[in-house]
Amino acid sequence: MVEERFLLAEERIHEIKKETSGDLNMEEGAEKGAVMPENFRQYFHTMADFLILMADTYRYVANGKLYLASLEELQEKNHELYRDILPENYDKSYANPAYSVARLGKDYGKLFSFLYAELRSLIVFAYEKKQEDMVIRMELFLEIYASFICALQETGEIPIYEEIRENVYWFVSDYTRDAFEEKLGAMFLPDQDFAWNIMKNGDLDSPEYLYYFGEYITESELKTWEHLKNLPEKTIALMADTYTEGYRIGFAVGNKDISKKKIVNIRYCLGFERMIKRAIENFDKIGLKPTIYRAASSLLQGKGLSRIGYYGAIPNKQYDFDHKDDQALFLDKRLVQVRMEAWQEGYEIYKEQAATFGGPAVVEVFGEAPADLKEKKEAPHLSDAQQKLSVEYAAAAGQLQNRYIKGEERSFTIIAFPTPEIGENYGEIFDEVIKINTLDYKLYQTIQQTMIDTLDKGKYVVIKGMGKNRTNLKVMLHTLTEPSKQTNFENCVADVNIPVGEVFTSPVLTGTEGILHVTRVFLNELEYKDLCLTFKDGKVTEYGCRNFDDPEENKKYIKDNVLFHHETLPIGEFAIGTNTTAYVVGRKYGIEDKLPILIAEKTGPHFAVGDTCYSHAEDVAVFNPDGKEIIARDNECSLLRKSDSTKAYFNCHTDITIPYDELAEVSVVTKDEEVIPIIEEGVFVLPGCEELNKPLENL
């Protein structure tokens, strides 16, 4: 039946292409005056062209021609699929809300730009041979076109916008359950893994396999593949071992039983398959099978600004940014309810697998030049009511997930490597990052313990910036009732957050106050200039930056992308980064602005707004290597889980780092008001920490 629907839809789309070509323009059979307006005619013609390309692509893959093609043919076809949204073509693409609105008007422009973005998900469905996922979107297009034809024939006018929006709304609503069940299946069922089959059966010594995924491939992915291909096997093993050992140690440090787990979710960027294949062998030895699902390409799957899963090159970050709030076109209480019911049903189907799900093992990449993203008035934006709904939905979905994938039993790990865009010293930087990721954790463990012993004498910590940095913060610490057995700070070495290099705590909110300021920072790939957050009792009260001329536009930028639509967020973490080696590498090669949060957070003190590091696992006892229990696992917000769990969690955690050269002081103040300096003017001055200053001497 799916094949029949596919053929019928394809046939009708070919007819639409003819109807919307030149003089035909649906004149035959139309009443007088019922001619399709030129702007909409061109839109439908463009969409028909794209859908025909998708049908041809499906057959190209299904008939096996993909796997027989030369590298040149694969590259040509790959470029054809993504050409329309590349920066050089984006100004005249219907995927661009600004262009679509200019051509089709405010309402239809936004809706039809979303429709095109949703139709573009057919690329990956064609490569995965998911014919039904293709069909339902082809049929949506046909339904909308038919509504236009009917309205023009009956009234001589195009249909009322709300009628068409309703068609799209019901499409989103009707297929949410199927999409969520499929998404959970990709997370929990290793045997269904599309990506692992390519790695397992493909020839990783030849780059053609990169084009079998259906993702956009550039010189960056090819050079990454080539670089890893030329690395000695022992280096690949070191990279994979560091990654998988970090995952295993994360369970041990967190006092969690990894033997209960059978599934690990691997997330990475294409080009690293040689390392990933070795890592999968490592995971297999500890009883874990991989699921490697693709980052969402459809609104039904939860597509957003961040890519969670595996992915290739990002064709155009502005395109992603323009469509990050597409759900604003539909989001209401009913749709939230549908989504929650869909999650519940899906988790029930896979509840046995969910109980054995260990969590994600992530390989991040960095090196791309920062994107100069523009906030467009033509793009969809959540209303205040929708922002509130979005926050409530995220909280409810997080609670539901935690019932099936218990926070106190799961873990994760993250490691990062550079891509060729980092510059002409790519090979050198890659080698330096391997060194950073494999630093002597025993050495850091000893130094950091010295720091923790001093911090544990404190009532609060003072952090002050210097130069243009206006930071002036007082961070309150928990009271240790048994100092011989308890500690406030975790001694973090290379486990869940690789590389080594931080001590962190969940601060007491009451009394934590002041200004956090950074002159320039990148958070989740977005740049912030002069980011400033003001805290009172540990919560954000004011915020701003200087990205835009309009202060209100700056506030909206922060609220959308740092506060994630919450009115305020607490400080969930205070940490002191100790990885001066990473800091020096950043300075040496001029790549500080390209370092991911994972590494950047180790290059100075940092503060996370949102949930604590122990979110959903606060009741699991955690101990440092010296045997002391880390008692600072809660704050005043997370404690609300005992009375009202809907107010305890925010489902976000964003780290903001102050680099050493903007740092005047980090000092701990004891209950007797003794001030003990740890860092002064960017240098560690606490006795026992001298080793950390040695890399700084090379600047």
- State percent of the chain over pLDDT 70: 98
Please count the CA atoms within 13 angstroms of the CA of 419 that sit on its side-chain side: 23
Amino acid, res. 248: R
What is the reported pLDDT for 450? Answer: 97
Task: Provide the pLDDT confidence category of residue 440 given band limits of 50, 70 and 90.
Answer: confident
What is the reported pLDDT for 171? Answer: 97
User: Do 229 and 103 share a structural domain?
Assistant: no
What is the reported pLDDT for 27? Answer: 47
User: Do 448 and 398 share a structural domain?
Assistant: no
User: Do 258 and 378 share a structural domain?
Assistant: yes
Q: What is the pLDDT of residues 531-561, one digit of tens each?
A: 999 999 999 999 999 999 999 999 999 999 9
Predicted TM-score (pTM) of the model is 0.88
User: In terms of residue numbers, what domain contains 253?
Assistant: 190-297+306-404
Q: What are phi and psi of 479, to 5 degrees?
A: -85, 130
Identify whether 642 is part of a domain.
Answer: yes
The mean per-residue pLDDT over the stretch 410-426 comes to 95
Which token pair is 613?
């590091």
Tally of domains in the chain: 3
490, burial (CB in 10 Å: exposed 0-12, middle 13-18, buried 19+): buried
CB atoms < 10 A from the CB of 467, how many?
10
User: Do 492 and 349 share a structural domain?
Assistant: no
What is the reported pLDDT for 22? Answer: 65
Is the pLDDT at 60 greater than 90? The verdict is yes
Spatial CA neighbour of 305 closest among 286, 326, 276, 291: 326
3-class SS string, 205-229 = CCHHHHHHCCCCCCHHHHHHHHHHH
Residue appearing with tokens 């130094």: 447
CB atoms < 10 A from the CB of 547, how many?
18
The more confident residue out of 29 and 601 is 601
3-class SS string, 272-314 = CHHHHHHHHHHHHHCCCEEECCECCCCHHHCCCCCCCCEECCC
**32: Cα separation from own chain's centroid:** 52
Identify whether 232 is part of a domain.
Answer: yes
3-state DSSP assignment of residue 667: strand
What is the reported pLDDT for 233? Answer: 96
| List of residues 6+ apart from 631 with CB closer than 8 A | 478, 480, 486, 487, 488
CA dist 398 and 401 (Å) reads 5
**Domain termination site, one of 404, 424, 453:** 404
User: Do 465 and 392 share a structural domain?
Assistant: no
Identify whether 170 is part of a domain.
Answer: no
CA dist 180 and 159 (Å) reads 31
CA dist 125 and 58 (Å) reads 8
What is the reported pLDDT for 371? Answer: 81
Q: What is the DSSP letter of 677?
A: E
Q: What is the DSSP letter of 160?
A: P
User: Do 689 and 552 share a structural domain?
Assistant: yes
Task: Provide the pLDDT confidence category of residue 34 given band limits of 50, 70 and 90.
Answer: low
CB atoms < 10 A from the CB of 61, how many?
16
Is the pLDDT at 94 greater than 90? The verdict is yes
Is the pLDDT at 380 greater than 80? The verdict is yes
Is the pLDDT at 182 greater than 70? The verdict is yes
Contact 447, 687 (CB under 8 A): no
Which token pair is 287?
């009883």
User: Do 367 and 443 share a structural domain?
Assistant: no
Identify whether 240 is part of a domain.
Answer: yes
Residue appearing with tokens 């021609």: 65
Q: Average model confidence (pLDDT) for the chain?
A: 94
3-class SS string, 579-646 = CHHHHHHHHHCCCHHHCCHHHHCCCCEEEEEECCCCCCCCCCCCECCCCCEECCCCCCCHHHHHCCHH
The mean per-residue pLDDT over the stretch 231-237 comes to 97
Residue appearing with tokens 């293709």: 134
- State percent of the chain over pLDDT 90: 87
Q: What is the pLDDT of residues 5-29, one digit of tens each?
A: 999 999 999 999 999 986 545 544 4
The mean per-residue pLDDT over the stretch 382-388 comes to 94
**Domain termination site, one of 139, 159, 179:** 159
Instruction: Give the chain's radius of gyration (CA, Å).
Output: 27
Q: What are phi and psi of 656, to 5 degrees?
A: -125, 120
User: Do 195 and 287 share a structural domain?
Assistant: yes
Degrees to nearest 5, angle at CA 40 with 161 and 149: 70
289, burial (CB in 10 Å: exposed 0-12, middle 13-18, buried 19+): middle
Q: What is the DSSP letter of 105?
A: -
β-pairing, 263-267 vs 289-291, is parallel
Identify whether 171 is part of a domain.
Answer: no
Contact 210, 217 (CB under 8 A): yes
The mean per-residue pLDDT over the stretch 302-322 comes to 94
Contact 294, 311 (CB under 8 A): yes
CA dist 15 and 656 (Å) reads 54
The mean per-residue pLDDT over the stretch 642-652 comes to 88
CA dist 197 and 289 (Å) reads 13
Is the pLDDT at 263 greater than 70? The verdict is yes
Which token pair is 684?
């560690």
What is the reported pLDDT for 254? Answer: 85
What is the reported pLDDT for 255? Answer: 87
What is the reported pLDDT for 25? Answer: 53
β-pairing, 539-544 vs 472-476, is unpaired
β-pairing, 605-610 vs 653-657, is antiparallel
Q: What is the DSSP letter of 269?
A: B
CB atoms < 10 A from the CB of 56, how many?
12
User: Do 598 and 515 share a structural domain?
Assistant: yes
CA dist 629 and 626 (Å) reads 9
**254: Cα separation from own chain's centroid:** 24
User: Do 629 and 506 share a structural domain?
Assistant: yes
What is the reported pLDDT for 494? Answer: 66
User: Do 201 and 139 share a structural domain?
Assistant: no
| List of residues 6+ apart from 671 with CB closer than 8 A | 459
CA dist 381 and 344 (Å) reads 28
3-class SS string, 102-165 = HHHCHHHHHHHHHHHHHHCCHHHHHHCCCHHHHHHHHHHHHHHHHHHHHHHHHHCCCCCHHHHH
What is the reported pLDDT for 646? Answer: 81
Is the pLDDT at 633 greater than 60? The verdict is yes
Most confident of the following: 245-254, 505-514, 642-651: 505-514
Contact 523, 654 (CB under 8 A): yes
What is the reported pLDDT for 253? Answer: 85
The mean per-residue pLDDT over the stretch 70-96 comes to 98
Contact 57, 81 (CB under 8 A): yes
User: Do 388 and 277 share a structural domain?
Assistant: yes
CB atoms < 10 A from the CB of 155, how many?
13
What is the reported pLDDT for 392? Answer: 92
Identify whether 434 is part of a domain.
Answer: no
Identify whether 150 is part of a domain.
Answer: yes
Contact 328, 379 (CB under 8 A): no
CA dist 146 and 150 (Å) reads 6
What is the reported pLDDT for 224? Answer: 97
Is the pLDDT at 30 greater than 50? The verdict is no
Identify whether 181 is part of a domain.
Answer: no
3-state DSSP assignment of residue 23: coil
Task: Provide the pLDDT confidence category of residue 616 given band limits of 50, 70 and 90.
Answer: confident
What is the reported pLDDT for 32? Answer: 45
